[in-house]
Amino acid sequence: MTGEIGAPAMVDIGVREPVWDRFFWVAPLVIVGSREADGGYDLAPKHMAFPMGWRNYFGFVCTPRHGTYSNVVREQAFTVGYPRPGQLVEASLAASPREEGGEKRILTALPQHPATIIDGQFVEGGYVELECRLERMVDGFGENSLIVGEVVAARAAEDALRVSDGDDADLLRSAPLLAYLHPGRFARIEDTLSFPFPAGMRK
């Protein structure tokens, strides 16, 4: 079927299989931290992760097959760190599979520091850190679940913090963001433009 004049034709890709690997889409990349049953800590990158509305709630998609899910159910808390583009290797290492005994010993190579309110860890050097208490879990999205937490503590690196008299474009040039382009690519976001909101638009 042909689209508007000058636009490429749209192709039916079907829905018998998940559609998300058939085209690229932009997502954040965060590292979710959770406490293990043995008292250690797990760190896992997530890209289906986002604020839940305008209040202080944060959600991410997980599966009961992953350690993060059972850790959050047990501990009722998790951390969220936003890595910088220069931390791509650290984020990738956090995705390493567990070893035969269930451990992810590679995580010991990542510089970390503790959360302040909940029992959790962050990878050093990120630009935003959130500490969350579990608010609810919604199962049933196929094999996946939505995990939602209330943000009970938050910190931002000084160089990434928006200020009233600052220029947002300059801020992003000096402190660029890391984005995940599913499937399997990433981007460094530093060249940005103001969005043309219509007059009178509200949240």
Q: Confirm whether 113 is domain-assigned.
A: yes
The tens digit of pLDDT for each residue in 154-169 reads 999 999 999 888 899 9
Q: Confirm whether 181 is domain-assigned.
A: no
pLDDT of 71 above 60: yes
pLDDT of 90 above 70: yes
Can you tell me the mean pLDDT for 188-203?
89
- 3-state SS string for 69-118: HHHHHHHCEEEEEECCHHHHHHHHHCCCCCCCCCCCHHHHHCCEEECCCC
Weakest-pLDDT range from 55-64, 92-101, 120-129, 173-182: 92-101
The CATH number covering residue 126 comes to 2.30.110.10
- At 4 the pLDDT is 60
The tens digit of pLDDT for each residue in 41-52 reads 999 999 999 999
> Which is nearest to 102 in space by CA: 131, 136, 71, 146?
71
Q: How many domains does the chain have?
A: 1
DSSP string, 164-198: TTS-HHHHHHHSPEEEEEETTEEEEE-------PP
pLDDT band at 61 (very low <50, low <70, confident <90, very high): very high
The residues pairing with 43 across neighbouring beta strands, listed in sequence order, are 33
Distance from C-alpha of 190 to C-alpha of 117, rounded to nearest angstrom: 32
Q: Confirm whether 12 is domain-assigned.
A: no
Distance from C-alpha of 64 to C-alpha of 73, rounded to nearest angstrom: 10
The tens digit of pLDDT for each residue in 117-160 reads 999 999 999 999 999 999 999 999 999 999 999 999 999 999 99
Q: Confirm whether 101 is domain-assigned.
A: yes
- At 200 the pLDDT is 83
Q: Confirm whether 16 is domain-assigned.
A: no
Domain with 38 in it: 25-160
Can you tell me the mean pLDDT for 27-42?
94
Q: Confirm whether 62 is domain-assigned.
A: yes
What is residue 126's DSSP assignment?
Answer: -
pLDDT band at 91 (very low <50, low <70, confident <90, very high): confident
What is residue 155's DSSP assignment?
Answer: E
Task: List the end-to-end C-alpha distance of the chain, in Å, as a whole number.
Answer: 35
Q: Confirm whether 76 is domain-assigned.
A: yes
Q: Confirm whether 82 is domain-assigned.
A: yes
Can you tell me the mean pLDDT for 38-43?
92
- At 73 the pLDDT is 97
The residues pairing with 105 across neighbouring beta strands, listed in sequence order, are none
Position 106, amino acid:
I
